[in-house]
Chain A
Amino acid sequence: MANMNMIQALNSAMDIMLGRDPSVVLMGEDIGYFGGVFRATEGLQRKYGEHRVIDTPIAEGGIVAAAIGMSVNGLRPVAEIQFADYIYPGFDQIASELARIRYRSAGEFSAPVTIRTPCGGGIRGGQTHSQSPEGIFTHVSGLKVVMPSNPYDAKGLLITCIEDDDPVIFFEPKRLYNGPFDGDPNKPAVPWSSHPKGQVDEGHYTVPLGKADIVRGGADVTIITYGTMVYVALAAAATLRLDAEVIDLRSLVPLDVDTICSSVRKTGRCVVAHEATRFSGFGAEILSIVQEECFWDLEAPIQRVAGWDTPYPHAFEWEYFPGQARVAAALKAAMEVA
């Protein structure tokens, strides 16, 4: 075991997969010689060469399309989209092509591509470096969608995704790259070295898709969340002295419905929290599932915490971010009704 931040854990996952499987290639803007703007691929081109860790033009549509073609020819590309906000030029290739090649060819062709992309706010990124577009991709049939919340899971999940024969969009909450963040920007940053999930196995291991993690067991209320909001939810519940059960989904598609529903059946109360915008967000899907599966076990209406339905503003970052106060208000509402 070694201390790793999330960047180092992701780097280790790619390092291991490049070493184990000659069909794995990395590609993306600035990822080769430079090692990536967030350093996730640092040292990998030096170690594996320019033909396996490939710098690309600034053309996300071209990157995704080329990755598809490579995967059809037997490679396993891991493509980095530098920011999730930049993924839209590649959207047609993702939604109409990548997601459907297995389906439309009746399984004759497939495209095992992993697309890594940093998402989320809290880094003063403004409206083009802060978005959380995961819900757009969960709506596309044929894509798996993953978002880890800590270094240990990030490495195990990324290895699983690279080994998976289906395409995966792998979102990395960039505010968590260097440490867990509870939503309070005024507190000193906490490094991953002080967190148990910053202890990462240096070898090959996997974390399965479709298996949520119960980050904290509890009896009062279930908080269903993922990414940065895991830590915000934990902090808000602690402040309110609630015995909350906090579920980190880790993978949105496939979704661990069983873990969600057994928890809500136990607590009878449910709060769903994500950083992405609220309207038609992934939280709405969770809400529907809980309502469909657990209606008669609910003691109170399900509450939803999300980013406001505006672009992510530069100057009002902390008014926008769904911090502890917004989670606490939702928790209180979920607890108040008898």
Chain B
Amino acid sequence: MKSLSRLHLPEAPARPGEAPDFSYVHLSPAGAISRPDVNARARDIAFLSTELVRVLDDAGTAMGSWHPHLDVADLQIGLRHMLLTRLFDDRMQRMQRAGKVSFYIRSLGEEAVSVAQCMALRPADMLFPSYRNQGLHIVRGTPLVDLMSQLLSNTRDMCKGRQLPVMYHSKPANIFSISGNLATQFPQAVGWAMAAAIKGEDRLAATWIGEGSSAEADFHHALLFASVYQAPVILNVVNNQWAISTFQGYAGGEQRSFAARGPGYGIAGIRVDGNDFLAVYAVTQWAAERARTGAGPTLIELVTYRAAAHSTSDDPARYRAKDDHEHWPLGDPIARLKLHLINLGEWSEERHQALTAELDALVVASWKEAVTYGTMSEGPRLNADLMFEDVFKDMPAHLERQRAAMRAEKG
């Protein structure tokens, strides 16, 4: 029977067996977009939400008014953090496949998002991450052993065995606990920033969400509250094109950029090449300055590509073109920063290989240490009594009774 439906359904550009097609991604040439004053009003700079801020061109040359002119040392640190994030991800993915870790989520291809953004912020700024922001912990120096221990739910696990792998937190590093329910952190970050403003603190909050989960009401609550109270917050939408199998068109990206949600709420929105370390750094620095000078919140859309599966429980070969990632027009963030440094005469293939070997050794050594604190199957285990702690600050009588019952059950 012929369908009578006139319903529009967004269509993925390339499904398995089809040729990759990224013609839908609007690109601006590197250096082409002007950098407005940090105190510009949101309504006067709406163009930033539909263009694409880029600093590095395809040849690795930095250009234009967004060029942050970072010290070479900082660029090298950025490269190191991104590389460490990737090597850590690689090893943990393999440990999941080897059955040592129950679940893992890589940030392959998106390393510049967390690393450059975190480097552009101050240590006192509070971060409300999503589950693909491990680079934040890398930049802020959370020991790999601690991250691995969380993945292993072992005796050193910061979450005391209560959270799915990758749901890290660190109070000393000012990185909030990851929920696992999508988008909830977005309006919480705004509340945190409102409190900073109420207390007169010179601190801001930054938070991350995927373009897919920007469909949640929490995203809109965040933009609304950020706008109403002009909270010192940076709201980041990581548009990696895919929400598991759902193409970004199903989150509303087909008709309008995600950054353009910002001007709709009276917030500055800015679309940036998420694989360009320099552009991401510059845009974040600009947004942070806006927040610190009272010019209000900023919504940043980081245009990138989820090069890996959503998680270890996912197989993208079932829903997208197999070699999609190789055709992504914005390339790879590590390769691009590396090329830029080589162009500057401040890096080489040899140094890159040496750094890779050094960082890989660090990952391996950290893993060796982490497993001494136990794995899911062997070694020391957390005491199951911990299950009943921290439900409340003080344990109420009914939980004491249940803890006793659990102990009796174990014999």
Are both chains from one complex? yes
Residues of A within 8 A of B (CB): 25, 51-52, 56-57, 59, 61-62, 65-75, 89, 92-93, 96-97, 101-110, 141-142, 144, 165-166, 210, 253-255, 257
Q: Which residues of B contact A103 (CB under 8 A)?
A: 162, 390-391
Verify B397–A66 contact, CB threshold 8 A: no
State whether the Cβ of B95 lies closer than 8 Å to any Cβ in chain A: no
What separation, in Å, do the CA atoms of A69 and B162 have in the docked complex?
21
> Could you give, for residues 138-157 of chain B, a 1 whenever the CB lies within 8 Å of some chain A CB and a 0 otherwise?
00000000000000000000
B38 is an interface residue with CB less than 8 A from chain A? no
B224 partner residues in chain A, CB cutoff 8 A: 57, 59, 62
Interfacial chain A residues near B171, Cβ < 8 Å: 105, 108-109
Cβ of B96 under 8 Å from chain A: no
- Is the Cβ of B177 less than 8 Å from the Cβ of A25? no
B194 pairs with A69, CB closer than 8 A = yes
Give A166 to B399 CA distance when docked, in angstroms: 15
Q: Which of B10-18, B55-63, B105-113, B183-191 contacts A (4 or more CB under 8 A)?
A: B183-191
Contact: B177 with A142, CB < 8 Å?
Answer: no
Give min CB distance, A317 to chain B, whole Å.
Answer: 32
Counting from the closest, the 3 A-B pairs by CB-CB distance are A69-B191, A62-B221, A66-B191
Once the chains are docked, how many angstroms separate the CA of A106 from the CA of B169? 10
Q: What is the bound-complex CA distance between A142 and B399, given in angstroms?
A: 11
Chain A nearest Cβ from B97, distance in angstroms: 26
Contact with A along B145-183 (1 / 0, CB 8 A): 000000000000011101100010111000011010100
Q: Please state if B390 and A61 are interface contacts (CB–CB under 8 Å).
A: no
Cβ contact within 8 Å between B390 and A106: yes
A69 touching B205 by the CB < 8 A rule? Answer: yes
- B192 lies within 8 A of A97 (CB): no
Contact (Cβ within 8 A) A72 B192: yes
When each residue 215-245 of chain B gets 1 if its CB lies under 8 Å from chain A and 0 otherwise, what string results? 0011001101100100000000000000000
User: Is A97 touching B188 in the complex (CB atoms < 8 A)?
Assistant: yes
Range of interface residues on chain B?
35 or more
Interface pair A104/B196, CB less than 8 Å apart: no
B176, B187, B189: the one contacting A61 at CB < 8 Å is B187
Contact A74 B391 (CB under 8 A): no
A143 to chain B, nearest CB (A): 9
The answer to whether A69 touches B160, judged by C-beta atoms less than 8 angstroms apart, is no
Asked if B392 and A65 sit within 8 Å, CB to CB, the answer is: no
Is the pair A105, B177 in contact by a Cβ cutoff of 8 Å? yes
Q: Does B299 contact A (CB under 8 A)?
A: no
Cβ contact of B398, chosen from A51, A74, A166, A255, cutoff 8 A:
A255
Whether B398 lies near A254 (C-beta < 8 A) is yes
30 contacts between A and B (CB under 8 A): A25-B198, A56-B225, A57-B225, A57-B228, A59-B225, A65-B188, A65-B222, A69-B187, A69-B189, A69-B195, A70-B194, A72-B176, A73-B192, A73-B196, A74-B195, A74-B199, A93-B184, A96-B179, A104-B163, A104-B167, A108-B170, A108-B171, A108-B177, A141-B391, A142-B391, A166-B392, A210-B396, A210-B397, A254-B397, A257-B397
Query: With A66-B194, A69-B193, A254-B397 in contact, is A106–B188 under 8 Å at CB?
Result: no
Instruction: Tell me how far the C-beta of B396 lies from the nearest C-beta in chain A, rounded to whole angstroms.
Output: 4
Supplied contacts A75-B195, A104-B177, 18 more A-B pairs, CB within 8 Å: A52-B198, A59-B225, A61-B218, A66-B190, A66-B225, A67-B191, A69-B190, A70-B198, A72-B191, A72-B192, A73-B196, A93-B188, A105-B159, A141-B391, A165-B393, A253-B396, A254-B396, A255-B398
Q: A101-B177, A106-B160 are in contact. Are A62 and B225 (CB under 8 A)?
A: yes
How close is B143's CB to chain A, nearest CB, in angstroms?
A: 16
Question: What A residues does B179 contact at CB under 8 A?
Answer: 96-97, 104
Q: Chain A contacts of B184 at CB under 8 A?
A: 65, 92-93, 96-97
Binding site for A on B (CB under 8 A): 126, 128, 158-160, 162-163, 167, 169-171, 176-177, 179, 181, 184, 186-196, 198-199, 205, 217-218, 221-222, 224-225, 228, 389-393, 396-398
CA distance A25 to B195 in the complex (A): 10
The answer, among A51, A73, A141, for a CB contact under 8 Å with B126, is A73
Judge whether B162 and A110 touch: CB under 8 Å.
no
Tell me if B191 and A97 are in contact (CB < 8 A): no
Residues in chain A near residue B199, CB distance under 8 A: 73-75
Question: Which residues from chain A contact B221 at a C-beta distance below 8 Å?
Answer: 59, 61-62, 65-66
Q: Is the CB of A70 within 8 A of B192?
A: yes
Kindly state the separation between the CA atoms of A110 and B390 in the bound complex, as whole angstroms.
9
